[in-house]
Chain A
Amino acid sequence: MLSVKNPKDFYAGVLLLCVVAVYALGLLDLRIGSLSRPGPGYFPLILTSLLFVFAVAILINGLRTKGEPIGAVPWRAMFFVTAPVIFFGATVKGLGFVPSLAITAIATCMGSTQWTWKSALLTALVLVFFSYIVFIWGLGLPVALCGSWLRSLFLSVGVPATSLNLCY
Chain B
Amino acid sequence: MRKWLLAAAGILALGISGASAQNYPTRNITLVIPFAAGGPTDTVGRLVAEAMSKSLGQQVIIENLAGAGGTRAAGQVAKATPDGYTLLLHHIGMSTAPTLYRKLAYNPLNDFEYVGLVTDAPMSLIARLNFEAKDLKGVLEYIAKNKEKTSYANAGIGSASHLCGMLFQAAVKQQLNTVNYNGTGPAMNDILGGHVDLMCDQTTNTTGQIKGGKVKAFAVTTKARVKNLPELPTMDQAGLAGFEVAVWHGIYAPKGTPKDVVAKLTDALQKALKDPKVIESFANLGTEPVPQDQATGAALVAKLKTEIEKWRPLIQSAGVYAD
Contacts and interface: CB of A to CB of B under 8 A. Distances in A.
A164 B26 CA distance: 11
B18 A142 contact: no
Contact of A162 (B12, B17, B61, B85): B17
Interface of B: 2, 5-6, 9-10, 12-19, 26-27, 30, 61, 63, 81, 83, 85
Contacts of A163: 9-10, 13, 16
Contact of A159 (B5, B16, B27, B85): B5
Most A CB contacts (10 A, CB to CB) among B6, B9, B15, B30 go to: B9
A159 B6 contact: yes
Contact of B63 (A142, A145, A159, A161): A142
B9 A159 contact: yes
Given A165-B26, A165-B27, A157 B5 contact: yes
A168 B27 CA distance: 11
Nearest to B18: A162
A140 B14 CA distance: 17
19 contacts: A140-B61, A145-B12, A154-B5, A157-B6, A158-B2, A159-B5, A159-B6, A161-B19, A162-B16, A163-B9, A163-B10, A164-B12, A165-B16, A165-B26, A166-B13, A167-B9, A167-B12, A167-B13, A168-B81
Contacts of A146: 12
Interface string A124-168: 000000000000000010100110100000100111011111111
Interface size class of A (residues with CB under 8 A): 10 to 19
Interface of A is mostly: loop
B220 to A, nearest CB: 32
A168 B14 contact: no
Most A CB contacts (10 A, CB to CB) among B5, B12, B19 go to: B12
Interface of A: 140, 142, 145-146, 148, 154, 157-159, 161-168
- Which 6 A-B pairs have CB atoms at the shortest separation, nearest pair first? A163-B13, A159-B9, A165-B13, A142-B63, A154-B9, A165-B15
B18 A161 contact: yes
Contacts of B81: 148, 168
Given A145-B12, A157-B5, A166-B13, 9 more contacts: A158-B6, A159-B6, A159-B9, A161-B18, A163-B9, A163-B10, A165-B13, A167-B9, A168-B83
A8 B27 CA distance: 56
B113 to A, nearest CB: 18
A151 B12 CA distance: 11
Nearest to B64: A142
B26 to A, nearest CB: 6
Contacts of A145: 12
Contacts of A165: 13-17, 26-27
Given A142-B30, A146-B12, A158-B6, A168 B17 contact: no
A146 B10 CA distance: 12
Contacts of A142: 30, 61, 63
A157 B2 contact: yes
Contacts of A164: 9, 12-13
B96 to A, nearest CB: 20
Contacts of B83: 168
